[in-house]
Amino acid sequence: MQQIPSLLTFEEDFYQNLKRQGKSLNTLKNYKTDIQCFKKFLISKNSVDHLNNFNEGLVGEYHQFLNQKYNSDNSKRRRIQALRLFFDFLMAKEIIGDNPVKKLPSAPKFLDIPRPTSYDHLQKLWDGIVKGSKSEKPLEQLMYHRGKVLFLLIFDCGLKVSDLAKLKLSQLSLGTKARVLVTPLKRDPYSIPLGPYTVEVIKEYIELLDAQKERDHQEFSELLFNGNPFHIISGGISPRGVEIMFEDYRRKYDVVATPKSLRQSCVFKWLHLGRSDSLIKEWLGVAPSYSLKLYKSHMDSHVINDYFLTK
């Protein structure tokens, strides 16, 4: 029987496949860390990393290795899931015929407490972006207006980075009953209302965007864009592009803010406004079984100023 090549032969292909799926740089780093954990296990067992050596016995030993190494159920579950996805990838490429990792039991999921952007940092971030949007340079002004739109679509509407990446102008209704249509890949579309101020900001942004598209001889249907200091490059913005924007904001304005923490601030805002659990879950795009208990138990610690409650 022909020896199946080393695990390392396909590791980079796996990462590139995840990258093509639009996974963020942070997600890719996590997967690499998780696969490295498996490789360290193989080294500890003096086991050659040939894929056909990873049998049921080794599966059980890896599970014991994780139980001894990590106290966190989330850490154990994540490493099992990463390896399971890797072997699913190998099955899809017909390199192996079965995924032995499916025999590993997943650790129970532990929900970490929400860590929203604090009110002070919300204010600093927003003020910084607004100041930048007053630039006299048309493209720089547009880029900061794009930042305002991103801020509000996450903080006002709770949109995920994946929702924003390919959001099209046609998904926005900016009339009397303004809404944004969200079109997930694995569930039915749903819409979220847009506040009057958010509508005002989006309309101003679209006007600036249209003018810049004409200057750069660009035409695209997405609301957001990928660009550099000189011109628009293309329509749409990758999840990683949004993360880079927030990394720049964190350095520039000395704030603790990510798309995820801003979205969590949105949930607290909705709760303080008295929105029902069912409505919040609908707008978040989560299952009815999703629990808001952790948010509710920390509401007193995350009171949002009236200024942002109206945004």
* CATH code for the domain in which residue 73 is found: 1.10.150.130
Domain count, the chain: 2
DSSP designation for 242:
H
Ramachandran bin of 48, using left for φ above 0, alpha for ψ from -120 to 50, beta for the remaining angles: beta
Instruction: Collect all residues with Cβ–Cβ distance below 8 Å to 176 and sequence separation of at least 6.
Output: none
Q: Residue 3: is its pLDDT beyond 50?
A: no
Same domain, 60 and 143: no
Is 237 in contact with 226 (CB distance < 8 Å)? yes
For 208-223, the pLDDT digits (tens) are 999 999 999 999 999 9
Q: Are residues 148 and 294 in the same domain?
A: yes
pLDDT above 70 coverage of the chain, percent: 87
Give just the sign of the alpha carbon dihedral 279, 280, 284, 287. Answer: negative
Q: Please check whether residues 180 and 283 belong to one and the same domain.
A: yes
- For the residues 286-308, what does the mean pLDDT come to? 80
Q: How far is Cα 31 from Cα 82, in angstroms, rounded to an integer?
A: 6
Range of the domain at 50: 7-103
Span between the terminal Cα atoms of the chain, in Å? 65
Q: What mean pLDDT, rounded, does the chain reach? A: 85
The per-residue pLDDT for 55 is: 63
Query: Is there a single domain that holds both residue 147 and residue 99?
Result: no
228 within domain boundaries: yes
